[in-house]
Amino acid sequence: MDETDEGVWGRILAGDPLSFGVIWDRHKDRVFTHVLRGGATRHDAEDLAAMAFLELWRRRSHVTFVDGSVLPWLLVTTRNVARNAARSRRRFEKFLATLPPPVLIDDAARAISDHEDKRLTALRGALASLKPIDADLLAMTAIEGFSIREAALATGVSESAAKTRLSRLRRRLKSTATATLLPEGEPS
């Protein structure tokens, strides 16, 4: 017959580090299932079961055995750990409800770079105003590295139409960039 939990526990208290693994192996599935049956998610059940075994280790001098088994003590402790976790979660959610809503702010890095580079701001504006098909063609050729033929096929236009659109787009973006380099009234 296998040794009872109480016998294994005596070895734990005597300093045998591997004996706690015996208790873990014997009862981890029952503790995990107990937490799942209590309504916890699988992820939470894993955490709560681990917390129950941590509590078992922490209170190792005060564990109660029923007919040589630590399982009843562990299940009660598991239920208490789950209740404490639920109470903590409710308190945290109540606290979060008292906070004011977050204030949305612009990306500080973008604000700094835009402030320092007006050309970038003008280009962003020009890109934002593109027709969807032009934006797709530009992204596929300039950013993703597709050929004009591949981009044309993907967007559903002919290759010659794609070339024309991209040519006009390059001229427009170039004039936007050039216009922002020169202050108004200065010759080009």
CATH number of the CATH domain containing 39: 1.10.1740.10
How far apart (Å, rounded) are the C-alpha atoms in residues 149 and 137? 10
* Same domain for 71 and 122: no
Q: What is the pLDDT of residue 1?
A: 44
Instruction: Quickly state the pLDDT bin for 188 (edges 50, 70, 90).
Output: very low
Q: Would the pTM of this model clear 0.95, i.e. be above it?
A: no
Residues 20 and 75 both lie in one domain: yes
Structural domain boundaries enclosing 147: 108-181
pLDDT of residue 85: 95
**Which conformational region is residue 41 in: left (phi greater than 0), alpha (psi within -120 to 50 degrees), or beta?**
beta
Statement to judge: residues 145 and 114 lie in one domain: yes
Whether residue 88 is found in the same domain as residue 121: no
Q: CB–CB of 179/122 below 8 Å?
A: yes
Per-residue pLDDT at 164 exceeds 60: yes
| Confidence tier at 113 by pLDDT (50, 70, 90) | low
Report the pLDDT averaged over residues 153-171. Answer: 92
